[in-house]
Structure 1
C-alpha cells in the first residue's frame, strides 16, 4: 500500500499515528497516511527555521531547482493517478492540474532571478544631495503553507514555489483529503536539488497540526486557502505576522444578449462543473439577459448532453464525485430545498453515491441556500435579467469578492462592469473562473487578502529593506 509520510529535518519519517485514505468514488483504501503529533510539528518547524537561516540557496540556484522540478513533474507517470485517488477528479481535470502546476513551478523559477528593489530619489529632498538610497528584498523566514483539497497540486505549488523562490523555508500542511499529490510535488523538488532541510511536510487535520502551526512563534508568514471562517481564525491567532488568505466565494458570470452565445455556453459549462464545481470561482449564479435566456438555456443543455458523469477514471469523464459523502448530502439537500420551494431543474438534480449530476436550476428563491451560500459543488443557478445596472448590484450583493465574468460585445457595458464590480478579478468575455497562473489572484471583502501568482506572492513573502548611503 502507498504511504504518505512526513518530511522532517530533511528525511522522510513515519508519523505518530496513521489513517486510511479512501477513494472518493468507490470507498476503497488507496493509501496509508502518516500524521504528525505536536512534537514532530515543533521539530519540523525548528529544523526549517535553522536551515532557512544557515543553508546557502542563492537566487540562480533557486531558479535551477524550480525549473528542473517543473520538468520532472511533467515526466512523472504517477501524478495524474495520484490526483484522481486523492480527489475523485476526472482524468481530464487531473491532467489540467498537472499542466498548471508545471507552469507555476516554471514561472516561480524565472521570478527567482528577478527579485529586485528600486532606487529612491533622495535628491528630491532638500539637503539630501550626495546621498543614495535603494531598497532590497529579503526572505521573511519560515512560511507555513496550509493548502486545500480542490487544487491538491497546483495550489500547493502556488504557495511552496514562490516561498522557495523568495529564499524562505516552508512547512507544508496539505489537506487531509489529498496528501498524495502534495507528496509527489515535494519529491520532485527534492529530486531537482532542493536542500531538503528547507522544506517539511506535516500531514494531519486542521484541528491538530493546523492549530499547532498557528500557535508556534516560528512561522513569519501563513499562506492559506480555505473557508472564510478558518481565515478569520488564522488572522486572530497569528497577530501581526503576514498572511495570504484565499477564502470563500460566491461567483457570478453575466451573459448579455449581444454575446457570442455558443462560446459563452461552452465556457460556462466548463467553469460551472470542472472539478465537480469544487472551485472557489466556479459559476454559481449565471445571469442571462432575458432576450437570450431560452436560446442560451438550450445551448447549455446541448453542451451538457452526452457528458460522462460518474467514475472519474472512465474515458471522457466530465464530472466525478464530490470530496465526501457529507458534502454530497449537503449539496443534495440544498437542491431539494430549492425544488420544494418552486425551483425548476433544467438539467441534472440527481445523485449516485458521492456523484452529483451537473445541475442547472431556474426560478430559485434568492434566500435558498443553493443561491445564497457557497455551494462548492456542480450546481449553477440560471437567473434572467432585464436591467444591467441592477444585475451588477446583484453580483456585488454577497459578502465575497473573488471574481466575476461578463460576456458582451458592448464595450460600454464591459467597462462599466470592470469599474463597478468589487472583485479581485473581473474577466471580460471570460467566466468568473478564468485564471492564468502568472496573474495576480486574490479577493476582497470576505474572500480574503493577499494574492497568489508567483511574482506577486514573492513580493508578499519578502520584506523590503531601505538602505541609504552618505559620503564618508
Structure 2
C-alpha cells in the first residue's frame, strides 16, 4: 500500500519508497514516499501561495476550521487510535487517551483563534508619549515547517498544526516515518474541513534532506521540532533568523519525601515510568526516595509493576508491549547492562521476553551511568536513596536536561523550596513529571529545548507582534 506526499491538496507519488512494519506483529503497514528536495520545495511553495488566503480568514473562520478537525477526530476516535496502536505499538488504552487529548488540543486551538489579540500601550506614561495612543497586533508569520516524532503521532502533531492554523499560518508537516500513517489519516480529515487549498502539506522521507530543505528555503519562517537534542541543536545553529521552537527530551526526576502515603502514589509512579514503554519526553526516569522509606517504596513499586499486563498492543487490557524497534530495545538493554557493571542492582525486569523489554527498576545507580544522565526512552526507571530534600534537588538538577520534575511531599514548605530550586521548565507538586494537559505552557531549559508549546503559548511563538501608534497632537 503506497502512500504519497500531499502537496497543494494533491497526492504525489515518487520514485523511492520506504517500507514500514508494525513493531509488534512485524506485518507490513505501508510504503511511504521518499520526498526529493524538489518535492519539499514544491510543498513549501504551495504553503506560501496559501498564506494570503489564510491571513485573510476571520478569527471565527479559523476557529470553525480547527473545530471541524476536532469534531472529525471525535467521530473517528477508534479508527485513529487503532492506527496509532498498530504503527507505534502504543497500547490501545493509551492510544485512545492520545486521541481524546488530540480532540481537546484542537478544541483549545479553535478557542484560542478567537482570543488572539494584542494589548493597549499607555503611551502617556512617558513625557514624550502624551497625545499618543498605541496598541499591538498579533499577525501570522507565514509558512511553518513542523517535524514530529513517533511517540505521540497525533497529539504532538496537533500541538503544531492546531496553533499554526489558529494563528492564520500555513504548514508543511514532516512526521516520523514509522508513524506516518497517522499523518495520512490527519490529512484525510483535514480534507473534509474548510481549510484553504495548499495550507496543509505533508512530506515524508529522509529527515536530513527534508530538514536541510526547510532550513535553506527563504519562505519557511519558522521551524517547530520535537525530537533528539543533537538534531534540534543542529537545526537551531543553522536556522539563521528563522524562528525555532525545540522540544528535545529529558531524564525527568521525582522526589519522594517522608510522610507520603506510598500506596496512594504507586499507580502514578508506575504510569509515569512505563506508559508507552517509557517512550515519552517527560517519562519518569529517575526517582529519589528518602532513605527511611526506601525498603517500603521498593516493595510497593515492585508489587505494582507485577500487576501490569504485557502483550499485544491492540488488546484493550495491555499495559506494556514492545518498543518502537528491536534496535531501540537492544540499546536500552545495553544501557541496563552498563549500569549493572557500574554497581547498580536490578529490582525487577532487566531482560527481554517475547520481544518485550520487561519494565525495569534499577537501584543505586551512579549518576554517570547512561540510564541516569541520558534519556533512555525505554521502560526503565532508576531509584536512588537520599538523606535530605536538598540532596534530592541537587541530584535532579545534576542533568543536562530540564523539562519537568516532580515532588511528592506533605510539606508545603518543602514543596515551595522544590518549586524554586528545581532547574526545569515545569515543577509538578504531588505528582509525577509525566503529567501534562494540553493548554498549559510546556517546554524546558538546558538541552530540553527552547520556546513553549501549549496552544496559547505556541501561538505566541507562531505570530509576529506589530506595534501601532496614533499621534493625536
Secondary structure (helix, strand or coil) at the match of 2:139 reads strand
SS at match of 1:197: coil
Q: Distance in 1 between matches of 2:286 and 2:20?
A: 33
Q: Which runs of 5+ in 2 are unaligned?
A: none
Greater Cα offset, 313-322 or 86-95: 313-322
Q: Which moved more, 1:5-14 or 1:400-409?
A: 5-14
Helix, strand or coil for the counterpart of 2:335? helix
Shift of 1:354: 4.5
Could you say which residue in structure 2 is the equivalent of 1:460? 461
Q: Deviations over 1:41-68 (max 9, x none)?
A: 1111111101112454221111111112
**Aligned position for 2:273:** 272
Question: Which 10-residue stretch deviates more, 255-264 or 169-178?
Answer: 255-264
RMSD: 1.4
In structure 2, the partner of 1:10 is 9
- Give the TM-score of the pair, scaled to structure 2: 0.97
Q: Aligned to 1:178, what secondary structure does the other structure show?
A: helix
Deviations 1:375-404 (A, max 9, x none): 110000011111111111111010111000
* Structure 2 Cα separation of the partners of residues 89 and 269 of structure 1: 16
Q: Does 1:107 align with 2:108?
A: yes
Contact kept in structure 1, 2:23 and 2:89, CA below 8 Å: yes
Aligned to 1:19: 18
**Residue 196 of structure 1: SS of its match in structure 2?**
coil
Long gaps (5+) in structure 1: none
**Mean CA deviation greater in 361-370 or 376-385:** 361-370
Alignment of 1:194-213 (within 5 A): 194-213=195-214
User: How many aligned residue pairs are there?
Assistant: 471
1:317-336 correspondence to structure 2 within 5 Å: 317-336=318-337
Query: 1:345: Cα distance to partner?
Result: 1.4
What do residues 175-223 of structure 1 show as CA deviations (whole Å, max 9, x unaligned)? 1111011222222222122123101000112122222222222210110
Asked whether the equivalents of residues 249 and 280 of structure 1 are also in contact (C-alpha less than 8 Å), the reply is: yes
264-273 vs 8-17, greater mean Cα deviation: 8-17
Q: Which residue of 2 aligns with 1:28?
A: 27
**What is the aligned partner in structure 2 of residue 37 from structure 1?**
36
Please, what TM-score do these two structures have when normalized by structure 1?
0.97
In the alignment, the residues of structure 2 paired with residue 147 and residue 46 of structure 1 have an alpha-carbon distance, to the nearest angstrom, of: 21
Partner in structure 2 of residue 376 of structure 1:
377
| Alignment partners' CA distance in 2, 1:229 and 1:354 | 29
Tell me if the contact between 1:396 and 1:422 (Cα under 8 Å) persists in the aligned partners. Answer: yes
- Alpha carbons 1:255, 1:264 under 8 Å: kept: no
Alignment partner of 2:135: what SS?
Answer: strand
Q: Is the 8 A contact 2:373 2:400 kept in 1?
A: no
Distance 1:323 1:353 in 2: 14
Alignment of 1:69 with 2:69, yes or no, is yes
Q: Deviations over 1:351-380 (max 9, x none)?
A: 136421110111223222212221110000
Q: 1:349-368 alignment to 2 at 5 Å?
A: 349-352=350-353, 354-368=355-369
The match for 1:217 is 218
**Deviation of the 1:133 alpha carbon:** 0.6
1:133-183 CA-to-partner distances (Å, cap 9, x unmatched) read: 110010011100000111111000001110110000000000111101122
Contact 2:50–2:197 (Cα < 8 Å) also in 1: no
Which residue does 2:255 correspond to in 1?
Answer: 254
